[in-house]
Structure 1
Amino acid sequence: MKITILYKFRNTAWGGANQFLHALRNWFVSKGCYEEDPFKADVGIFISYPFNNEDLFGTVHKLKKNTNTLIVNRMNGPIFLYRDQDVAVDKMNFIFNRHVADGTIFQSKWSMEQCHKLGMIPNGYETIIGNAPDPGFFYRPDPSKNKVVGKTKIVAASWSDNYKKGFDTYQYLDDNLDFARFEMTFIGRSPIIFKNINQLPILQSDKLAETFRDHDMFVFASKVETCSNILMEALHCGLPAVARNNSSQPELLGTGGLLFNDTRDVLDAINKVSNNLNYYRSSIKVPTIDEIGANYYNFCNRIYSEYREGKYTRKCWSNMRYYGLTARAHFWEKGTRIKNKLRKINENGNQPG
């Protein structure tokens, strides 16, 4: 069985999905089961929703019409919990999943439950498989370097500057963290100019991992996450974490740190983890890319084998449903651009001048 990933890869830091899918593709390649040409693959893994790459809907439509390729949908979201105006995206994801996807992979139990709660009809083949980073970059440091010298070094990171990524908490820490005891660094984009927190730009995976290993603990304050890759990358680098108690964070963190609810208890959680770094470091339990890759392969192979044996009838994608979905996507994209332009005009109009 040959697998392809229907995704426009970027060879630069480009958000969590891009980084994880690079690692997953590398695993498939190492096992000899990856096919670059989707029209020669037995299974195509589709990433919903393909923001800025809606042409991939056309690729899937051609695969459904002209080949026997099965489509497995890696679900994101629900998206509207990240962006309140994007209920339309979730509806398109649910339509695609119902009429096109032969199987569905959720990244967390939380994501599966929320999607079903919002009206997504369960697929005949569904599973939950999390994420894992590339072990060539993200690995634990030499144990001899675990000893804290001087201040406890905290790190946080976000590729997106969406305020829901936890910037209320990072602002609070910038104002209230005990900087006589702690040193804190933020990596990535931020809508806030910090006074006390050191800030670094977005880093490539090798530099990001090195920076993580140079710190003692990770703070992750995002309010909504399907399955955060940045949190998994930090844990794989041996960083105990303090993470916000919502969405998928409890599933990912496990015993590798402590959860907090808001600014009222985040400092207490940081202090407790800082006082017990070795305990929480030794309690980190995260899946490897070998485990994740094998789970992807086995799930795809289960559908493929039952299709080959005549136990499963592959879904088709009629022209009417294809054009209906792509029309929705087109109008959503146009509407979003207009909303963004109006928002910028409004923001500029409200600036003093």
Structure 2
Amino acid sequence: MRSFPGKGILQRMGQRAGYLAARLAAQWRQFDISIFHQFAPPPDGGGHQFLRALVRCLQERGWRVENNTISRTTRAVLFNSFNFDAERLRWLRRHGIPMIHRLDGPLAAYRGFDDGTDRMTWSLNRRFASATIFQSAYSLAQHQAMGFAPAEARVIMNAADPLIFHARKREPFSLLRKIRLVSTSWSDNRNKGADVYEWLDNHLDWTRYEYTFIGRLPIQPRNIRVEPPATSERVADLLRASDIYITASRNDPCSNSLIEALSCGLPAICLNSGGHPELLRGGGETFSAAEEIPALLERVARDYADYQARIPTFDIEAVTTQYLAAMDLPAVPENR
């Protein structure tokens, strides 16, 4: 069926009417910080979880936070990658307040194909940003190598919500039972490492290991148990019941899944790619080929307590303070 010729025009007019209504309503709203991001309902990826944790910390400090609106009292705007309504931001923006662009990627490297999203994101940065937050030094360097000159760049790594992802009451490690391996991923993109998980499914000694994969996996394993995407609380429980985390994702700028596992007290074995080494530090080992993993598992199991003691800390409160500094705001609101 052919569309009515004026349908698109009417839709655009309706959108603009909505933007105008939001701008008028802004005169009566009172908020301090605006976050432009389209949140997805759980279960969802770690990026949504990080931003929810950031919002909670800001609000607990007394900051008034709004989503996808800008009020007359708004002092700073944080807009996330390309996951927001850019036209709405254009209509509602107020000149003279900090506009902070949070970026990851490059997506062409992460996804394994270039559909123009990185260039579109750079355009948004040039159009709106007064400063840019990258989630890892790897991400910043890769963008710069592609020719992108971001506004006032700085690196602030993510952190997991400590109310959910923590190491309290985790099951103790023991060599007297099977070693429990775990991986998580919400995407079935092949760059998430399905070939590595397939190799492990075929070659690990299953008299010594059991393995749970939480999320979406584009293969049908015989030995790895696959759990469907779950709530953060369920994921955290499964992580705390496991011993070693494995991730084989390629060119992942700042893996929230890895941060969540480390925060639950799991040493990790990671593909030497993307931002993994920055996050892992001494809390595990990296590999370049799947064939290296069995020996690394043996090494981590043998010195488990040492690896666990070297797991880095990801402090959402410290990260929140860094975000506020990027917005030119104090750690807590004045006179409130």
TM over 0.5, shorter chain: yes
Native 8 Å contact 2:171 2:242 kept in 1: no
Q: Percent identity over the alignment?
A: 33
Please state if 1:83 is matched with 2:111.
Answer: yes
Question: Aligned partners of 1:293, 1:31: CA distance in 2, in Å?
Answer: 10
In the TM superposition, what whole-angstrom CA distance separates every residue of 1:308-353 from its partner, at most 9, and x where no partner exists?
A: xxxxxxxxxxxxxxxxxxxxxxxxxxxxxxxxxxxxxxxxxxxxxx
Pick from 43, 55, 58 the counterpart of residue 87 of structure 2.
58
Correspondences of 1:22-33 after superposition (within 5 Å): 22-33=52-63
Tell me the SS of whatever aligns to 1:139.
coil
Match of 2:265 among 238, 251, 258: 238
**1:119: how far off?**
0.8
1-structure distance, mates of 2:165, 2:112: 33
The aligned counterpart of 1:118 is: 146
- Cα distance in 1 for residues equivalent to 2:246 and 2:113: 28
Question: Is the Cα–Cα contact under 8 Å of residues 238 and 284 in structure 1 kept in the other structure?
Answer: yes
What's the CA shift for 1:126? 1.8
* 1:59 positional shift: 1.9
2:82 maps to what in 1? 49
Q: Given residue 72 of structure 1, which amino acid in structure 2 is its aligned partner?
A: I
- Which 5+ residue runs of structure 1 have no aligned equivalent? 304-353
Deviation per CA, 1:74-113, whole angstroms, max 9, x where unpaired?
A: 0121010123433511111112212310110000000000
Q: Which residue of 2 aligns with 1:327?
A: none
Correspondences of 1:257-272 after superposition (within 5 Å) = 257-272=284-299
Q: CA deviation at 1:143?
A: 6.9
Counterpart-to-counterpart distance in 2, 1:232 and 1:85: 25
Q: Are residue 220 (structure 1) and residue 250 (structure 2) matched?
A: no
1:235 deviates by: 0.1
Matches within 5 A, 1:269-288: 269-288=296-315
Mind listing any 5+ residue stretches in structure 2 that lack a counterpart? 1-30, 331-336
Aligned with 1:92 (options 120, 136, 152)? 120
TM-score by length of 2: 0.84
SS at match of 1:74: strand
Structure 1 residues 264 and 96 mapped into 2: Cα distance closer, same or farther (>3 Å)?
same
Which amino acid is 1:168 matched to? D
Aligned mates of 2:206, 2:113 — CA distance in 1: 38
**Aligned partners of 2:34 and 2:70 also within 8 Å:** no
- What is the CA–CA distance in structure 2 between the aligned matches of 1:261 and 1:226, rounded to whole Å? 17
Which protein is richer in helix relative to its size?
1
1:164 matched residue in structure 2: 191
Under a length normalisation based on structure 1, what TM-score does the superposition of the two structures give? Answer: 0.80
CA contact (8 A) 1:165 1:224 kept: no
| Alignment deviations for residues 196-234 of structure 1 (CA, whole Å, 9 cap, x no partner) | 111111110111000000011100110121100000000
Residue type at the aligned position of 1:103: A
Are 1:201 and 2:231 an aligned pair?
no
Distance apart, 1:10 and its partner CA = 2.7
Task: Answer yes or no: is the 8 Å Cα contact 2:246–2:270 preserved in 1.
Answer: yes
Mapped partners of 2:44, 2:231: distance in 1: 9
CA gap of 1:193–1:144, structure 2 versus 1, over 3 A, is closer
Distance 1:12 1:142 in 2: 24
- 2:319 maps to 1:292: yes
C-alpha separation in 1, matches of 2:254 and 2:225? 26
Q: Counterpart in 2 of 1:39? A: 70
1:206 maps to amino acid: E
Partner of 2:202, secondary structure, is helix
Over the aligned positions, Cα root-mean-square deviation in angstroms equals: 1.8
Structure 1 residues 147 and 141: CA distance shift in structure 2, 3 A = farther
Q: Is the 8 A contact 1:39 1:69 kept in 2?
A: no
CA distance in 1, matches of 2:52, 2:150: 28
Shift of 1:68: 4.3
| Offset at residue 166 of structure 1 (A) | 0.9
Map Cα deviations across residues 162-202 of structure 1 (whole Å, 9 max, x no partner).
Answer: 11101111000000011111111111001011101111111
Aligned amino acid, residue 254 of structure 1: R
Q: Distance in 2 between matches of 1:255 and 1:291?
A: 20
Count residues in correspondence: 297
The verdict on how the C-alpha distance between 1:144 and 1:174 changes in structure 2, with shifts beyond 3 A counting, is closer
Q: CA deviation at 1:144?
A: 7.1
